[in-house]
């Protein structure tokens, strides 16, 4: 599939990239971190330590630091985090990212990676700004999908989303469809 050129290819002896969920803020036609002043570029992104201290980490992600490209294992945790951080009014974009190089695992929460790329962008389960999503997807060379279409076509599993994350998406979509006055 041509749209996946930004996904790093497996190399003999090197583990496959890890895949996680994340939110981006949109500034014009660019995806940006919502926690740090960092813009994502199409293709590979290399993290740097942005800590406000005299000596930044020598390697990213650094031990005892929060640097690196973050992703969560859980799409639901992304939505909850967006609500807690009052990001929902800023219309964040959710997607999947691949992380590789040095990767710091954070248990059941997620991971931070030295290198990362956007894999796919998704509409909000409540509906979203589709033209904006299409423009972003074109810029980053990734697919723009509805979560429902991605779930029904098996695309989430193809990208490497975990069975638990896929079950979460299924449950959220069922809850949204079951809301009064809403049709799936």
Asked whether residue 1 is assigned to any structural domain, the reply reads no
DSSP string, the chain: -GGGTTSPPP-TTSPPPEEEEEEEEEETTEEE-SSSS-BPPSS-EE-----SSSS--SSSSPTTS--SEEEES-HHHHHHHHHHTT-GGG--EEEEEEEEEEEEEETTTEEEEEEEEEEEEE--TT---HHHHHHHHHHHT--EE-HHHHHHHTHHHHHT--HHHHHHHHHHHHHHHTSTT---
Asked whether residue 68 is assigned to any structural domain, the reply reads yes
Asked whether residue 97 is assigned to any structural domain, the reply reads yes
Asked whether residue 3 is assigned to any structural domain, the reply reads no
Asked whether residue 6 is assigned to any structural domain, the reply reads no
> For residue 10, what pLDDT is reported?
45
Q: Along the 184 residues of the chain, how does pLDDT read in single tens digits?
A: 233 333 444 444 456 799 999 999 888 899 998 877 889 999 999 998 877 777 888 888 888 888 889 999 999 898 887 777 666 556 788 999 999 998 988 888 999 999 999 999 998 766 656 788 999 999 999 999 988 989 999 999 999 999 999 999 999 888 877 655 554 4
> For residue 45, what pLDDT is reported?
95
Q: Which residues lie closer than 8 Å to 5 by C-beta, 6 or more apart? A: 141
**Taking the model in full, what pTM does it have?**
0.83
Q: Which residues share a beta bridge with 153?
A: none
> For residue 7, what pLDDT is reported?
40
Asked whether residue 67 is assigned to any structural domain, the reply reads yes
> For residue 92, what pLDDT is reported?
81
What is the span of the domain harbouring residue 35? 17-49+56-177
Largest Cα separation within the chain, whole Å, is: 55
Asked whether residue 10 is assigned to any structural domain, the reply reads no
Q: Kindly provide the b/e burial profile for residues 45-71, where b requires at least 16 CB atoms within 10 angstroms of the residue's own CB.
A: bebebbeeeeeebeebbbeebebbbbb
Total count of domains within the chain: 1
Asked whether residue 144 is assigned to any structural domain, the reply reads yes
């Amino acid at each position: 599939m041509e749209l996946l050129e930004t996904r790093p290819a497996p190399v003999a002896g090197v583990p496959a990239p890890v895949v996680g969920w994340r939110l981006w803020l949109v500034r014009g036609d660019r995806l940006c971190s919502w926690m740090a002043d960092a813009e994502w570029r199409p293709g590979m992104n290399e993290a740097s330590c942005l800590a406000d201290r005299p000596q930044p980490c020598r390697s990213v992600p650094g031990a005892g630091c929060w640097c690196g490209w973050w992703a969560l294992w859980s799409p639901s945790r992304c939505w909850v985090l967006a609500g807690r951080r009052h990001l929902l009014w800023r219309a964040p974009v959710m997607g999947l990212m691949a992380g590789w190089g040095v990767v710091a695992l954070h248990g059941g929460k997620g991971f931070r990676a030295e290198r990362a790329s956007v894999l796919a962008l998704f509409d909000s389960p409540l509906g979203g700004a589709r033209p904006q999503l299409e423009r972003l997807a074109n810029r980053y060379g990734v697919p723009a999908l509805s979560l429902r279409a991605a779930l029904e076509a098996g695309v989430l599993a193809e990208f490497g989303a975990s069975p638990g994350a896929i079950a979460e998406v299924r449950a959220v979509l069922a809850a949204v469809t079951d809301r009064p006055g809403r049709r799936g």
